[in-house]
Amino acid sequence: MVGRLWHLVMKRMQGSEIRTRRLRLRELTQADARRIAEIGADWDIASMTSRMPYPYSEAAADQWINGIHDKEVVRGIALDGQLIGVTGYLPDEDGQSAEIGYWLGKSYWGQGYATEAAAALIAYCFRRERFSHVTCGHYIDNPASERVIAKLGFTPIGRNRCWCEARNAEVDALRYELKRPQTAWLRFQGPSRAA
Ligand SMILES: CC(C)(COP(=O)(O)OP(=O)(O)OC[C@H]1O[C@@H](n2cnc3c(N)ncnc32)[C@H](O)[C@@H]1OP(=O)(O)O)[C@@H](O)C(=O)NCCC(=O)NCCS
């Protein structure tokens, strides 16, 4: 399934915007703060992410957008022109790999959107950024994200304790990695790095 999805994604990548069959991954602007707060102000979302505070407000979303680190790549997940979630990656210090993350507004759960968006982002990481591998993790009490990660083909690499802003505590987490596939189309198609 993943191979077929990636093939479709490859054909749809354009500039910094990534398109999938149903979604558009686009840059965020300050104007998105209200919508991000509207769909993201939910304990079931914040408690599964490391940095989202709870309660969550438009001011907090605005501050977060404003403070996105230069090296961090964050994309809003849009469905039919409406923002339904957020995904992104942060390159590691050595520049060889990146950690990905994602969340969706609750009313959009269970329709394959997170898997579709993350698969597209990972394909971008490998093809455009040329990372050798991507990593991710989930708290041990997050079976939905565990399933997304399994569907994407990640391999478990261990566990650690990871800070959760909403819970104001460290939480046990499982860690995973996915290596860049060494297929012919990945090696020979397109430019090696995004402008
Ligand atoms: C995790 C999250 C992004 C998943 O989004 P989504 O669009 O529903 O994900 P998908 O539909 O692509 O896949 C979800 C899978 O998890 C499964 N799932 C959902 N809840 C589950 C549960 N309680 N136990 C086991 N599996 C579960 C679904 O059945 C589906 O698997 P399937 O396709 O085999 O049926 C979403 O739940 C979310 O935003 N959660 C809060 C934030 C978060 O956890 N972010 C990730 C941090 S690591």
**Three-class secondary structure assignment of the chain:** CHHHHHHHHHHHCECCEEECCCEEEECCCHHHHHHHHHHHCCHHHHCCCCCCCCCCCHHHHHHHHHCCCCCCEEEEEEECCEEEEEEEEEECCCCCEEEEEEEECHHHCCCCHHHHHHHHHHHHHHHCCCCCEEEEEEECCCHHHHHHHHHCCCEEEEEEEEEECCCCEEEEEEEEEEECCCCHHHHHCCCCCCC
Residue 67: which pLDDT band, with cuts at 50, 70 and 90?
Answer: very high
Among the atoms of ligand 1, which is closest to the Cα of residue 103? 39
Residue 14: which pLDDT band, with cuts at 50, 70 and 90?
Answer: very low
How many domains is the chain partitioned into structurally? 1
Q: Is 58 within a domain?
A: yes
Ligand 1 centroid vs 146 CA: distance in angstroms? Answer: 7
Q: Which residues have a Cβ under 8 Å from the Cβ of 13 and sit 6 or more positions away? A: 19, 120, 123, 124, 127, 128
Ligand 1 neighbours by CB, cut-off 6 Å? 45, 48-49, 102-104, 109-115, 138, 142-145, 147-148
Question: Given a cut of 90, is residue 4 above it in pLDDT?
Answer: no
Q: In what order do the strands lie in the sheet with 82-91?
A: 18-19, 23-26, 73-79, 82-91, 97-104, 133-139, 169-179, 155-164
Query: Are 66 and 30 a contacting pair, CB within 8 Å?
Result: yes
Q: Is 85 within a domain?
A: yes
Listed residue (80, 83, 85) closest to 148, CA to CA: 85
Partner residues linked to 137 by β-bridges: 175
Q: Is 128 within a domain?
A: yes
Task: Give mean pLDDT, residues 126-148.
Answer: 97
Ligand 1 centroid vs 145 CA: distance in angstroms? Answer: 5
Supply the residue whose CA is at minimum distance from atom 12 of ligand 1.
Answer: 112
**Cα 10 to chain centroid, rounded:** 17
Q: Is 193 within a domain?
A: no
Residue 191: which pLDDT band, with cuts at 50, 70 and 90?
Answer: very low
Domain that holds residue 25: 2-188
Choose the residue to mutate in 45, 89, 104 for probing ligand 1, maximizing ligand atoms within 8 Å of C-beta.
104
Task: Give mean pLDDT, residues 119-130.
Answer: 95
Q: Is 195 within a domain?
A: no
Does residue 53 have a cis bond before it (omega within 30 degrees)? Answer: no
Q: Is 35 within a domain?
A: yes
Among the atoms of ligand 1, which is closest to the Cα of residue 137? 48
Residue 194: which pLDDT band, with cuts at 50, 70 and 90?
Answer: very low
- pLDDT computed for residue 13 by the predictor: 46
- pLDDT computed for residue 102 by the predictor: 98
Ligand 1 centroid vs 195 CA: distance in angstroms? Answer: 33
Ligand 1 centroid vs 185 CA: distance in angstroms? Answer: 30
Choose the residue to mutate in 48, 54, 84, 147 for probing ligand 1, maximizing ligand atoms within 8 Å of C-beta.
147
Query: Are 85 and 103 a contacting pair, CB within 8 Å?
Result: yes
Question: Given a cut of 60, is residue 71 above it in pLDDT?
Answer: yes
Ligand 1 centroid vs 48 CA: distance in angstroms? Answer: 11
Q: Is 45 within a domain?
A: yes
Q: Is 194 within a domain?
A: no
Question: Residue 18 sits in a domain of what CATH number?
Answer: 3.40.630.30
Decide which of 142 and 7 is more confident: 142
Among the atoms of ligand 1, which is closest to the Cα of residue 116? 12
